[in-house]
């Protein structure tokens, strides 16, 4: 039993690697090669995808806690494969909307569930205190492996702009095999006992009320950062960044992710979450503002890499912090993390729709607007956050 559960870690590594969309740097550029498309429509399909994720984020976490984490991860992989087919055979905006919605549904089914699954696995292995360290290192190693693919795949656009997507399909099929072979930890860790509680009862009793100020603060950061996904690479291309080198931007972000992820637990130990949140009030807006100020595509590419590398590198540090401090009922981990992600998605939808009108006129003004608004929002939220942070 213990060996099977230990094997979950490397199998989860393969599954996580397969869930990465290594073609993202060229996806928006590929979209603009289709007939009758424009930059504003990028915001449309991205925002609709976020809306689909918003609708199913919390239900997916609740579903996973009741139905089973492994089964939910299998469903997520199937949705991801269907999403990829939608992109590969796309002929119009509507195909991208379908692909984006399926992609977001897959991420919704994975986000809280994957952390809950691994948390239960390492709990069975009596390593619960090492969750942040183990999960961050898995994610960091995935980011390093994906960096090479992200850098190399855009070169295939010289043959066909859709070829990187077809290559990604191979990884999806391998990931499906990996997730099917996972060992469920439910035999030694009971996910639910007795009659399942209603979702609203869980939100009221299983989640500490102090959770919400922190979730809103973290969610606002994530919402602003993720809402720009559709514009990051087309902005760089408009500045003169070569399309065949665009993968280096995301690849470098994975390297930052690797180093930050491997040391995320040290950040918590040496700096503490309260100071980390204070730093982030200035860090994220400053990077967004810098990309609006500079016109050098390579410098902006570096700034985007740093932005995303740090954002994702500290992700499981954040998840571990929530699981440690705000969970009253250990049987509903995925539900709580899904509520956290739902709050982020609310910000993503609003920002993605709103900023699309600005980005249509100017990418620079768009990033300037994002930086200023994010700073103002974080400054307004922090006093409420500080009152509820655990000592």
**Secondary structure class of 154 (helix, strand, coil):** helix
Instruction: Provide the pLDDT for residue 174.
Output: 95
Instruction: Provide the pLDDT for residue 192.
Output: 47
Cβ proximity of 95 and 83 under 8 Å: no
Top pLDDT among 386 and 289 is at 289
pTM: 0.74
Average pLDDT over residues 182-194: 63
Distances (CA, A) of 69 to 114, 180, 192, 297, 313: 8, 12, 11, 42, 23
Rounded Cα distance between 273 and 269, Å, is 9
Rounded Cα distance between 165 and 31, Å, is 12
Average pLDDT over residues 44-65: 77
List all residues 6 or more positions away from 134 whose beta carbon is below 8 Å from its beta carbon: 9, 118, 122, 127
pLDDT one-digit tens code per residue, 329-344: 777 777 888 888 889 9
Top pLDDT among 172 and 208 is at 172
List all residues 6 or more positions away from 205 whose beta carbon is below 8 Å from its beta carbon: 197, 328, 329
Radius of gyration over every alpha carbon of the chain, rounded to an integer in angstroms = 20
Cβ proximity of 18 and 175 under 8 Å: yes
Angle, CA of 176, 232 and 139, to the nearest 5°: 35
Polymer length of the chain: 391
Instruction: Provide the pLDDT for residue 20.
Output: 87
Q: Is 66 exposed, middle or buried (0-12, 13-18, 19+ CB in 10 A)?
A: middle
Rounded Cα distance between 387 and 370, Å, is 27
Rounded Cα distance between 47 and 350, Å, is 8
Q: Given pLDDT bands bounded at 50, 70 and 90, which one contains residue 255?
A: confident
* Structure tokens given for 13: 């590594």
pLDDT one-digit tens code per residue, 3-27: 667 788 889 999 999 998 878 778 8
Instruction: Provide the pLDDT for residue 188.
Output: 63
In this model, does residue 50 exceed pLDDT 60? yes
Q: Which residue has the tokens 């996972």?
A: 182
Mean pLDDT of the chain: 85
Domains of the chain, CATH where assigned: 2-388 (1.20.1250.20)
Q: DSSP for 18-87, please give it.
A: HHS-TTHHHHHHHHTTSTT--HHHHHHHHHHHHHHHHHHHHHHHHHHHHH-HHHHHHHHHHHHHHHHHHH
* Structure tokens given for 329: 């009922």
pLDDT one-digit tens code per residue, 159-178: 888 898 998 899 999 999 99
Q: DSSP for 240-286, please give it.
A: T--GGGTHHHHHHHHHHHHHHHHTHHHHHHHT-HHHHHHHHHHHHHH
Rounded Cα distance between 130 and 320, Å, is 9
In this model, does residue 365 exceed pLDDT 90? yes
Percent of the chain scored above 90 by pLDDT? 30
Rounded Cα distance between 162 and 64, Å, is 33
């Amino acid at each position: 039993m213990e060996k099977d559960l230990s094997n979950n870690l490397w199998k989860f590594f393969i599954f996580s690697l397969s869930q990465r969309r290594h073609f993202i740097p060229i996806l928006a550029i590929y979209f603009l090669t289709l007939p009758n498309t424009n930059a504003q429509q990028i915001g449309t399909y991205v925002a609709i995808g976020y809306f689909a994720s918003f609708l199913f984020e919390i239900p997916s976490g609740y579903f996973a806690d009741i139905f089973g984490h492994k089964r939910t991860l299998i469903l997520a992989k199937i949705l991801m494969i269907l999403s990829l087919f939608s992109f590969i055979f796309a002929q119009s905006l509507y195909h991208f909307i379908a692909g984006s919605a399926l992609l977001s549904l897959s991420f919704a089914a994975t986000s809280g569930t994957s952390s809950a699954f691994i948390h239960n696995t390492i709990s069975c292995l009596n390593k619960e205190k090492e969750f942040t360290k183990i999960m961050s290192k898995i994610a960091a190693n995935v980011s390093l492996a994906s960096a090479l693919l992200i850098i190399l795949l855009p070169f295939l656009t010289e043959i066909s702009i859709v070829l990187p997507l077809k290559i990604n399909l191979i990884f999806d099929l391998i990931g499906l095999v990996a997730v099917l072979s996972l060992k469920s930890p439910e035999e030694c860790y009971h996910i639910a006992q007795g009659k399942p509680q209603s979702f609203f009862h869980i939100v009221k009793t299983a989640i500490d009320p102090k959770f919400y100020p922190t979730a809103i603060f973290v969610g606002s950061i994530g919402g602003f950062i993720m809402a720009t996904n559709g514009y990051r690479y087309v902005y760089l291309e408009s500045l003169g960044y070569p399309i065949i080198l665009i993968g280096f931007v995301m690849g470098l972000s994975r390297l930052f992710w690797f180093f930050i992820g491997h040391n995320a637990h040290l950040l918590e130990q040496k700096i503490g979450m309260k100071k980390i949140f204070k730093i982030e009030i200035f860090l994220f807006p400053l990077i967004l503002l810098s990309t609006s100020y500079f016109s050098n595509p390579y410098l902006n590419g570096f700034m985007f890499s740093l932005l995303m590398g740090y954002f994702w590198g500290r992700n499981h540090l954040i998840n571990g912090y929530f699981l440690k401090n705000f969970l009253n009922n250990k049987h509903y981990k995925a539900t709580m993390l899904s509520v956290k992600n739902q709050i982020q998605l609310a910000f993503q939808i609003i920002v993605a729709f709103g900023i699309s009108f600005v980005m249509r006129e100017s990418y620079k003004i768009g990033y300037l607007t994002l930086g200023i608004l994010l700073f103002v929002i974080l400054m307004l939220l922090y006093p409420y956050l500080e009152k509820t942070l655990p000592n």
